[in-house]
Structures are given as structure tokens and as C-alpha cells.
Structure 1
Amino acid sequence: MPRGDERSREEQISGTAFAPSRSMRRRISLAFLLIPPLTWLVVAYLGSLAVLLVSAFWSTNSFTGAVVRSFTFDNVARVLTDEVFRTATLRTVSVALAVTILCAVLAVPLAFYMAKIASPRVRLALVVAVTTPLWASYLVKAYAWRMLLSPEGPLSWATSYTPGYGLIATIVTLTYLWLPYMVIPVFAAFSRVPDSLIDASSDLGASDLSTLRMVLAPLVFPGIAAGSIFTFSLSLGDYIAVTIVGGKTQLLGNIIYGQLVTANNQPLAAALSIIPLVAIVAYLLAMRRTGALENV
């Protein structure tokens, strides 16, 4: 074989040996795609949470109100021992659970009708009706409910009864605000259930209630759990709705806002913020066992 051919063959072999494989090129491309969002997640999101947790162990100067970056457990101890904060925590968690349950009770029959009974045209109209409020301003919707629940509002004219402003008004308003976040995943869960399963259950003599309990409920429950993650977490951290329609009701969100803006006590606000953060993490861990995170 000529010497030139041998040299070119050796160069091809060496070039092939050092060329990246297809899987390696895919990994490199994936890494370049993931670097910007991961950088944002680590620096902006997790970094801000880290600063929040650290600032909970700082204090404020009693005379100037300036933040003093000296380590102390006073804020955490006050959050754990103060009766006002403990009561507000229980009230906030109770409101979040009540809103979640109400949203599930309203969403399940509506989503079932949309997925299994309604015609395509009616289904489209209902999907538009459910999702359209998401395009409206949060403040507009909250103030609309303030007007509706007012003692001189339309509800009082029509029924001669209105709950007024307070805890019930807060739960009703939050239920309205977050209901689409429950309907959409439950509707998607019902849509994934084959109609043949319902027909087979009926052919085997099961009643509608038995079919719902033994066939549909286990398949749809992950969707309900996925929607509950949104309704629970959004209700837990809300502070605007309770300010607008809550009257004298105090939840953790508006207490934290008051400490941060009115009282200018950032360390205490940060310490209070740990409570909903821990509650949400605990709720996510509980929902993880239901398969809800795969349906979010």
C-alpha cells in the first residue's frame, strides 16, 4: 500500500477516535440549553430564599430601625411562642384547606361534565368560561367580590343577606380566584380516563356511584391532588384578597406584609415567612405519594 494512503488512513482513524460521539454532542447541547434556566433558578430563586432564611436570624436597631446583621434566635423564638402568630398560622392553614376542599367539590362535577358528557361545542365553551377569568386582573376580581359582598351590594339586594367582610368573604373570594387551577388538572385527568372503562363498569352491573367510587376516583385523584397544590399554596401565601374583603381578619400573608412595610421589621417578616414555606414543602411531600407532581 502506498505511504500516502497509509497516512490518510491513520489520520481518519485518529480523527474518529477523538471526535465526540453523537450522545456526547447531545449532552453538550442539553447542557448549554439548561445552563441559563438553572443559573436563574440557583441564583435568583434559591439565592433569594437563602437570603430570606439568613435574614430571619438578624435583628433591627430599636432606635433607627436599621437591620443589624448579628446572629440571634429572637425572631424565630417570637414566631414560635407568640399567641397572635400561632393563631394566625392555624387560621391561614384552615383557610387554605377550606378553599382547597371547596374548589375540589366544585371542580369535580364540572370537570366530569366537560370531559365525558358535554358535546365538543359545549366543552369548548366551558373551557373558555373557566379560563377567561385568568386573563382578568387579580385586583379587579377581588374588588368585584368586595362590591358583591358589600352590605349595600347586589347580593344584599337580591337575597337580603350578605356575609359582609370577614373570614367567610375571604374564603369565598379565594375559592373564586383559584377555582380554574383546580378545574383544569381535574378536567385533564377525566379526559385521560378511557370511556371503555366506564362502559365496562356499567355492563358489569355497577351503579353510577360505584363506578365513580371504584373506577373514576382512583384514576382522577392525582389530578385533584395536583390542583390542590395550586389552590393550597396560593391561598396560603395570599395577602391581597384578605386585605380587600377580609375586614379585620388577619392571615399570615398580610401580617408578613405589615411587618415588612408598616413596621419596617424585615427580620421578623422573614422569620414569619418560614412558616408558609415549611407548610408548602410538607404539603408537597404529602402529595408526592399520590402521583400529583406528575400531573402538575
Structure 2
Amino acid sequence: MAAFLHRRAGVRLSLLLSAPLAWLGLAYLGALAALFLTAFYGTDTFTGELIRTFTWANFQDLVTTEVYRTIALRSLGVALAVTAIDLVVAFPMAFAMAKLASPRSRRWLVIAVLTPLWASYLVKAYAWRVMLSSGGLLGWGFGVTATILTLAYLWLPYMILPIYAGLERLPDSLLEAAGDLGARASRVFRTIVWPLAFPAVVAGSIFTFSLSLGDYIAVKIVGGRSQLIGNVVYDNIGAANNLPFAAAVATVPVLIMLVYLAAVRRTGALENL
């Protein structure tokens, strides 16, 4: 058997990957398939029982009802705003870590970035609730702005670390050569730093965008009466007991992410990750 596997690298690779691929197929792809299938079912309005009959009614309600269109657009706007804020904050921090800090300081800075991830999600979200309440440090109240600030804080490390990894691979000789040739800082950033760091920015944005798009806990804690896609899904699974409509709503962030990944792929950034 050992000699047979030694001569056939493809068979070895297939056996090695069979277990994780089977788990991926059952746990992830299988769950997605069940989600899409349930979205085309209906419910009995009297008993609340699931009716396994194909129907477009859930998607028709989702598209034709103005409140759901507004929630979808609001969720998209929140995800874009969180990603933009995290990019503006993370890029200079990552550049300072990768190019300005000493090797010893760099390790401590990476630990400092990772430290918030060790704390509980709920603790951090409720800490922002206390700060944003009327008697808190900021006192801005709750709503979409509070949700954006909270999510931007929660997902910031997921933007810093990919950009830091990308900038760390940027050769210092390129920056030195550009400086020796008289290029200004703005031109160095535009022609050297940004093009080479763009794939890392895309990697970070995938995390911040997708996590913000599907979040519902932070909205419950600091969002006040605001609703995003995640809250609609949760409410229809729980109080409304309308699993098919919840599944239809849950397909919206999946489709948005597919469109986002397709747009990013056209830039060639994914091939350079």
C-alpha cells in the first residue's frame, strides 16, 4: 500500500483531502443547499406548519415590500461604511507596524491588535452600549450611527492584520529607490504602496464587509429601533415562526457577497492574495 501511494501522488492527495472536503460538503454546502431549498417553501398561516410546495411567494414579498428593500439597502450601506472606516483607520496603523516600528515593537503591536479578539463579543458590544447611552462617555444615543461605530470597532483587527501582512512583504528597497529618485510621499503611495497592498485590502474588506452584512447582535444592543438583514432573519425564525421567509431573506447577503466577490475578482486582486 505504501509503495502504491508513493507512486501515485494524486491518490495520496485525494485521500488526504477526502475528510475535510466531505465535512465542507455536508456542513457548509449542504447547509446552503437546505437554506435555498427552504426559501422556496411556504407556511400554513393558521397552524404555522411548513408546506413543502415550490413557490416564489417569499421572494416576491421580499422584492415588492418597500420595508424589506429599505432594510437591504440599509444593511448594504452599513457594511460599506464599516469597511470604509476600518480601511481609513487600519491602513496607517498597518503601515506603521510593517515599515516604521522596530522588529521587537512590531511583535508587541501585533499582540495589541489581537488582544481585543480575545474578549467576548457581547462584552465589547455592551461596552459600546454604555458609552453611547445618554449618560455615557459619548452620549450619542442608539441607531445606525452607533451600529456602524460598534461594528467598525469589532471588525477592525480583521482589516489591520491582512494589510499588515501585505505591507510586510513590500520590499523596503522600492520605497528607498522612489525616495532617492525624488518621488513625493503621495506619488510613492499612489504608484507603489497602494497597488501592492490592494490585494491585502481586498482580503480585509471581505471580512469586514461580510461580517457587518450579516450581523444582528450588535444591532440589537446598540441599534435601537434600526433593523438590518440579520434581525429580520432572526425575528422570522423566532417570533414570526416563518422559516421559509427567513431563509429567503438570508439569501440576500449571500447574493450580495457573490456579486462583491465577482467584482473584486475582475480587479485581479484575488489572484494575488
TM-score, structure 2 normalization: 0.96
1:124 paired to 2:115: no
Cross-structure match for 2:95: 112
1:269 paired to 2:246: yes
Q: Is the 8 A contact 2:5 2:12 kept in 1?
A: no
- Mapped to 1, the partners of 2:183 and 2:52 lie a distance apart of 66
- Counterpart among 60, 65, 74 of residue 57 in structure 2: 74
Match of 1:154, SS state, is coil
Counterpart amino acid of residue 105 in structure 1:
V
Cross-structure match for 1:50: 33
- Mapped to 1, the partners of 2:235 and 2:272 lie a distance apart of 36
- Mapped to 2, the partners of 1:140 and 1:294 lie a distance apart of 37
Cα deviation 1:116-165 (Å, max 9, x = unaligned)? 0011232222111111111111111111111111111133xxxxxx2211
- Mapped to 2, the partners of 1:108 and 1:256 lie a distance apart of 33
- Counterpart among 22, 45, 59 of residue 62 in structure 1: 45
Q: Is the 8 A contact 1:58 1:69 kept in 2?
A: yes
**1:134-283, aligned counterparts within 5 Å?**
134-155=117-138, 162-283=139-260
Cross-structure match for 1:5: none
- Mapped to 2, the partners of 1:247 and 1:293 lie a distance apart of 37
Q: Is the 8 A contact 1:185 1:223 kept in 2?
A: yes
Offset of residue 212 of structure 1? 0.9
Match of 1:151, SS state, is coil
Offset of residue 291 of structure 1? 4.2
Cα deviation 1:160-188 (Å, max 9, x = unaligned)? xx221101000000000000000000001
**Number of residue-to-residue matches in the alignment:** 271
Offset of residue 21 of structure 1? 7.4
Q: Which sections of structure 2, spanning at least 5 residues, go unmatched?
A: none
Offset of residue 248 of structure 1? 0.6
Cα deviation 1:65-120 (Å, max 9, x = unaligned)? 11111111111110111101000000000000000000000011000000000112
- Mapped to 2, the partners of 1:220 and 1:57 lie a distance apart of 42
- Mapped to 1, the partners of 2:148 and 2:232 lie a distance apart of 17
Higher-Rg structure is: 1
Offset of residue 286 of structure 1? 1.5
- Percent identity, aligned pairs only? 55
Q: Which sections of structure 1, spanning at least 5 residues, go unmatched?
A: 1-18, 156-161
- Mapped to 2, the partners of 1:232 and 1:81 lie a distance apart of 26
Q: Is the 8 A contact 1:181 1:230 kept in 2?
A: yes
Counterpart amino acid of residue 238 in structure 1:
D
Match of 1:132, SS state, is helix
Offset of residue 287 of structure 1? 1.7
Counterpart amino acid of residue 132 in structure 1:
T
